[in-house]
Structure 1
Amino acid sequence: MPARTYPRTRPGTAGALTVRLPWWALVLPAAAFAVLLVLMAGPGQAQAASTDPGIARILDLTRQVLVR
């Protein structure tokens, strides 16, 4: 005798699409972007003391890209 199957129904609004991402799906790309941005703004050779702060260089590069 065959078993009866019941269609699965989900409560909620019809046509609504919900996507749930794990925490690392947002954190890892943001962390990688931040690391690459710091590497790009850092000096070519490591020095004990630098006269050019990293954040000022990042802002200057951003300004140069936006002005073009």
Structure 2
Amino acid sequence: MSAPMHTARRTASTGKRLPWWSVVLPVVAFVVLLTLMTGPGQAHAVGATSEAPGIAYLLERVLDALSL
């Protein structure tokens, strides 16, 4: 007595779509990295006594770049 063979059936289209964030997140990441790379041409070191710009400076740069 032999067991019946089960074959996988593939359909041409399963009807599944990508979620919106799987397209938007890589685009946003690319734009942010591109903005950071094309920032000011001169880099400078931050001294221990001066204030570090922190996340507020980064957000300001991103918002400035988006308002072109």
Q: TM-score, normalised by structure 2?
A: 0.39
TM-score (norm 1): 0.39
